[in-house]
């Protein structure tokens, strides 16, 4: 009789542990979804402001074309080309705005101040959102690699989480804060 | 935004994290956000209207010093009630690894959680042992903030993952506008910090002092901070003791005035610093800074651009640098100017905007903060048994 009780108790403990781990994993997946949504929002915001700048006529024609092209690419890219296209936009922004005079010129134009504020905010928040996203991916992966999770298939059908890798280095003078990166 | 901030250390005891939380909360309130701070405090202590007490803190030996922490069933219940009543868009937990209300809040909450890691403890046995316990709580954090690149590195080493670096904030204008006091001026060297804590480096400065006074006989050292004054000057030759003035504990106003008055501020700390807020305060007040070359200090001083560095614990190097600087008014003026310019990035207007950007980033893709009811767990468990 006691043996039976012990076995039942052990099963209960195992059950609780498995259920708790599944809940933990579920929460981690929810966190990734939220972080990915936030990252998408920031990337889209950045591409929109860049595209707006490209068509505003505030920049010289060559810079306008480069910026418009890159922003358009980034917005239209298919999921598997997204990382490359967004990196391309970062490079275009650096090519255009590494010269600090350019930013000043935009700022002096009517309505330019607001555009610059939006652009700097978006450019600063992309690396932030990406860090938070990749951090959540790492946390979920660490749990998913666990033996118990693999044996009991606690992750269900959720796809294996992938980090978002891109070049998000801001142009010089944009994110100029100590250790801001 | 409705923002909940959790401070793990007792509100009655002054400390770096408490001041940071206070200034952050007041800054956010000025910007029109709704802020509630949960912190351990004695029930009799008068609290500012935005602070909610999480109960009395008990002194516990933790991590090499006595910390006043708060845990147990009563506190856990208070944390839950605070989360429930607050209905926050985001909660910001400070030092979530400390066994106090921060960790309890991490357990009890779900939704957008931001956490700031202030200290950068070297990997300890406690941390390794506690890792499996901490991990499920810490992995709920959606965004991590480290106060310096150095703190971020240790965080990544210990816990993996990544963090954004946002430095601690200072009200730069409060220091910049302080009135200098005449009796603290004229070849004065300033030191602020606990006298009896060797980590703060006063002994190094005391060893360097004879060398400094030999070259600059009219120099004076002004020391502000708690501790045994007799013991501090015990190693100093008797005839030099009159050149050291102890001011005891000073108010915030007097601290600012002291920093405005001195010719040189020396930070000889020997280790255990993850940021160096005092250097930022000194630069805000326009004091030229001479600091030991700790990682954290080098970063705050922009690798020696905004202030001078000397080899850590090397009293002779400290003396040589101090003598050179005190004899070179042009260099001092240059350091004042560079420091004042560099320090703008630590002003609350900049730091607060960055922290708000983090809040908005994590709150954008998620529902509001709620208590983690675990009904899912019970429901699943019930279903599994039937």
Residue B135 confidence class, pLDDT cut points 50, 70, 90: confident
Kindly report the CA angle at B380 between B374 and B381, in degrees rounded to 5? 90
Torsion of CA B11, B17, B23, B25, to 10 degrees: -70
Domain identity same for B195 and B330 = yes
Neighbours of B263 (CB within 10 A): 22
Are residues B131 and B269 both part of a single domain? no
B243 shares its domain with B358: no
Measured CA to CA, the distance from residue B24 to residue A118 in angstroms comes to: 24
Q: What is the pLDDT of residue B64?
A: 59
CATH number at residue B266: 3.40.50.2000
User: Which of A23, A141, A178, A181 best tests the B interface by mutation, with the highest count of B CBs <10 A?
Assistant: A178
B194 and B155 within one domain: no
Same domain (yes/no): B78, B203: no
The A-side interface with B (CB below 8 A) comprises 15-16, 19-20, 22-24, 26-28, 31, 33-38, 41-42, 121, 124-125, 127-129, 131-132, 134-136, 138-139, 142-143, 176-181
Are B164 and A131 inside 8 Å of each other by CB? Answer: yes
- A63-67, B26-30, B248-252 — most confident range: B26-30
Distance CA(B93)–CA(B82), nearest Å, equals 13
Q: Do A15 and B381 touch (CB under 8 A)?
A: yes
Report which secondary-structure segment, H or E, holds A73: helix A61-76
Quote the domain boundaries for residue B185: 172-344
CB of B170 within 8 A of CB of B281?
Answer: yes
Residue B259 pLDDT > 50, yes or no? yes
* Nearest CB neighbour to B144, from listed A31, A135, A176: A135
Q: Residue B378: what pLDDT?
A: 46
In a domain, B7, yes or no: yes
Pairing of strands B65-69, B58-62: antiparallel
Mean pLDDT is lowest, of B21-35, B85-99, B278-292, for B85-99
Q: What percent of chain B has pLDDT over 90?
A: 40
More confident residue, A124 or B126: A124
What gap in Å lies between CA B369 and CA B6, rounded to an integer? Answer: 13
Whether residues B41 and B106 fall in one domain: yes
Pairing mode, strands B220-224 and B51-53: unpaired
Average pLDDT of chain B, as a whole number: 85
The answer to whether the Cβ–Cβ distance between A139 and B112 falls below 8 Å is no
pLDDT in tens, B331-340: 999 999 999 9
Nearest to B28 by CA among B92, B81, B82, B106: B92
Give CA angle at B318 (B313, B323), nearest 5°: 170
Measured CA to CA, the distance from residue B245 to residue B248 in angstroms comes to 9
- CA-to-CA distance for B181 and B75, rounded, in angstroms? 46
The verdict on a CB contact (< 8 Å) between A143 and B139 is: yes
Task: Return the HEC string of chain B.
Answer: CEEEEECCCCCCCCCHHHHHHHHHHHHHHHCCCEEEEEECCCCCCCCCCCEEECCCCEEEEECCEEEEECCCHHHHHHHHHHHHHHCCCEEEEECCCCCCHHHHHHHHEECCEEEEECCCCCCCHHHHHHHHHHHHHHCCCCEEEECCHHHHHHHHHHHCCCCEECCCCECHHHHHCCCCCHHHCCCEEEEECCCCCHHHCHHHHHHHHHHHHHHCCCCEEEEECCCCHHHHCCCCCHHHHHHEEEEECCCHHHHHHHHHHCCEEEECCCCCCCCCHHHHHHHHCCCCEEEECCHHHHHHCCCCCCCEEECCCCHHHHHHHHHHHHCCHHHHHHHHHHHHHHHHHHEHHHHHHHHHHHHHHHHHCCCCCEECCCHHHHHHHHHHHC
**Do the domain assignments include residue B386?**
no
ipTM over 0.90: no
Is there a domain that residue B384 lies in?
no
Q: How confident is the model at residue B373 (pLDDT cuts 50, 70, 90)?
A: low
- Which tokens in the block code for residue B18? 């408490």
The answer to whether position B383 is within a domain reads no
Alpha-carbon gap, residue B172 to B187, rounded angstroms: 24
Residue B386 in this model has a pLDDT that exceeds 60: no
Which residues in chain B have their CB less than 8 angstroms from residue A127's CB?
164
Residue B346 has pLDDT above 80, yes or no: yes
Instruction: Please determine, for residue B380, whether its predicted confidence score (pLDDT) is greater than 60.
Output: no
B243 and B125 part of one domain? no
- A181 chain-B contacts, CB cut-off 8 A: 165
For residue B365, name the pLDDT band (cuts at 50, 70, 90): low
DSSP three-state, residue A172: coil
Residue B112: list chain A partners with CB under 8 A: 34
pLDDT score, position A72 = 92
> What band does B126 get if pLDDT is binned at 50, 70 and 90?
low
Q: How many domains does chain B have?
A: 2
Whether the CB-CB separation of B299 and B175 falls below 8 Å is answered with no
What's residue A178's pLDDT? 36
Predicted confidence band of residue B379 (pLDDT cuts 50, 70, 90): very low
Distance from CA of B20 to the nearest CA of A (A): 18
CB atoms closer than 10 angstroms to residue B234: 10
Q: How confident is the model at residue B383 (pLDDT cuts 50, 70, 90)?
A: very low
Which of the 8 DSSP states describes residue A174?
T
Per the model's pLDDT, the better-predicted residue between B150 and B85 turns out to be: B85
Looking at chain A, which residue has its C-alpha nearest residue B112? A31
- Residue B195, pLDDT above cutoff 80: yes
Residue B385 placed within a domain: no
- Contact between B299 and A178 using a beta-carbon 8 Å cutoff: yes
Question: Is B40 contained in some domain?
Answer: yes
* Cβ within 8 Å, pair A178-B162: no
Give pLDDT tens digits for B88-99: 999 999 988 777
**Same structural domain, B193 and B335:** yes
- Which of chain B's residues have a Cβ under 8 Å away from the Cβ of A38? 361-362, 364-366
Residues whose CB is less than 8 angstroms from the CB of residue A177 and which lie 6 or more positions away in sequence, other chains included: B167, B345, B350, B354
* Per-residue pLDDT in tens (0 to 9) along chain A, 181 residues: 789 999 999 999 999 999 888 888 888 998 898 899 999 999 999 999 999 888 888 888 888 899 999 999 998 888 888 999 999 999 999 988 887 778 888 888 888 888 888 888 888 899 999 999 999 998 898 888 888 888 888 877 778 888 899 988 888 767 554 333 3
Asked if residue B357 and residue B327 are part of one domain, the reply reads no
Residue of B110, B158, B164 to mutate for A, most A C-beta atoms under 10 A: B164
> In terms of domains, do B286 and B360 share one?
no
**Closest Cα of chain B to A92: distance in Å?**
24
Residues B328, B358 within the same domain: no
B142 contacts in A (CB within 8 Å)? 31, 34-35, 132, 136
What is the DSSP track for A85-132?
A: HHHHHHHHHHHHHSSHHHHHHHHHSTTHHHHHHHHHHHHHHHHHHHHH
Least confident of B128-142, B173-187, B238-252: B128-142
Sheet harboring B244-248: ordered strands across?
B244-248, B220-224, B188-192, B264-267, B289-292, B308-310
Stretch among A49-58, B103-112, B332-341, B363-372 having the lowest mean pLDDT: B363-372
Contact B165, B243 (CB under 8 A): no
Band of residue B293 on the pLDDT scale cut at 50, 70, 90:
very high
| CA separation for the pair B216, B189 (Å, rounded) | 11
Query: Over 50: is that where the pLDDT of B11 sits?
Result: yes
How does residue B377 score in pLDDT terms, banded at 50, 70 and 90? very low
Cβ <8 Å between B357 and A124: yes
Does residue B226 fall inside a structural domain? Answer: yes
Q: pTM value?
A: 0.83
pLDDT at A79: 85
User: Cβ separation of A121 and B357 shorter than 8 Å?
Assistant: yes
pLDDT at B227: 84
Residues B24 and B165 in one domain: yes
């Amino acid at each position: 009789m006691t043996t039976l009780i012990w076995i039942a108790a052990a099963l209960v403990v195992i059950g609780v542990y498995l259920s708790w781990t599944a809940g933990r994993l579920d929460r981690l997946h929810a966190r990734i979804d939220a972080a990915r949504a936030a990252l998408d929002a920031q990337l889209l915001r950045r591409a929109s402001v860049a595209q707006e700048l490209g068509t505003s006529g505030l920049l010289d024609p060559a810079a306008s074309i480069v910026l418009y092209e890159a922003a358009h690419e980034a917005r239209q890219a298919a999921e598997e080309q997204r990382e490359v296209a967004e990196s391309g936009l970062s490079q275009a922004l650096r090519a255009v705005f590494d010269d600090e005079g350019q930013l000043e010129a935009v700022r002096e134009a009517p309505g330019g101040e607001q555009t610059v504020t939006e652009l700097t905010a978006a450019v600063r928040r992309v690396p932030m959102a990406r860090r938070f996203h990749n951090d959540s991916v790492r946390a979920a992966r660490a749990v998913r690699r666990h033996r118990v999770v693999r044996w009991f298939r606690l992750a269900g059908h959720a796809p294996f989480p992938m980090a978002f890798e891109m070049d998000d280095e801001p142009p010089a003078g944009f994110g100029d804060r100590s250790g801001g990166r | 935004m409705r923002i909940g901030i959790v401070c793990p250390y007792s509100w009655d005891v002054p400390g770096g994290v408490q001041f940071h939380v206070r200034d952050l909360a007041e800054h956010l309130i000025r910007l029109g956000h709704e802020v509630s701070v949960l912190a351990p405090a004695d029930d009799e202590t008068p609290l500012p209207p935005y602070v909610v007490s999480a109960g009395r803190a008990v002194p516990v030996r933790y991590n090499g010093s006595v910390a006043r922490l708060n845990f147990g069933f009563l506190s856990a219940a208070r944390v839950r009630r605070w989360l429930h009543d607050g209905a926050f868009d985001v909660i910001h937990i400070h030092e979530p690894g400390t066994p106090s209300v921060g960790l309890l809040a991490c357990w009890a909450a779900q939704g957008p959680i931001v956490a700031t890691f202030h200290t950068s403890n070297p990997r300890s046995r406690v941390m390794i042992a506690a890792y499996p316990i901490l991990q499920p709580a810490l992995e709920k954090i959606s965004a991590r903030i480290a106060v310096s690149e150095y703190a971020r590195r240790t965080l990544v080493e210990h816990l993996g993952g990544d963090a954004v670096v946002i430095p601690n904030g200072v009200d730069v204008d409060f220091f910049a506008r302080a009135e200098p006091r005449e009796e603290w001026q004229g070849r004065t060297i300033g030191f602020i910090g606990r006298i009896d804590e060797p980590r703060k480096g006063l002994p190094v400065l005391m060893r360097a002092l004879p060398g400094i006074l030999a070259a600059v006989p009219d120099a004076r050292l002004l020391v502000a901070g708690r501790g045994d004054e007799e013991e501090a000057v015990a190693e100093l030759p008797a005839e030099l003791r009159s050149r050291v003035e102890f001011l005891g504990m000073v108010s915030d106003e007097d601290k600012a005035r002291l920093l405005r008055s001195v010719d040189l501020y020396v930070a000889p700390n020997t280790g255990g610093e993850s940021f160096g807020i005092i250097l930022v305060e000194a630069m805000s007040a326009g004091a030229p800074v001479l600091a030991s070359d700790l990682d954290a200090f080098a970063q705050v001083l922009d690798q020696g651009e905004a202030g001078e560095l000397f080899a850590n614990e090397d009293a002779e190097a400290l003396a040589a640098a101090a003598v050179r600087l005190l004899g070179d008014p042009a260099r001092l003026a240059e350091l004042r100017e560079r420091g004042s310019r560099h320090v703008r990035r630590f002003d609350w207007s900049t730091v607060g905007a960055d922290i708000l950007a983090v809040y908005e980033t994590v709150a954008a893709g998620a529902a509001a903060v709620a208590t983690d009811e675990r009904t899912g767990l019970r429901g699943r468990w019930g279903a599994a048994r039937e």
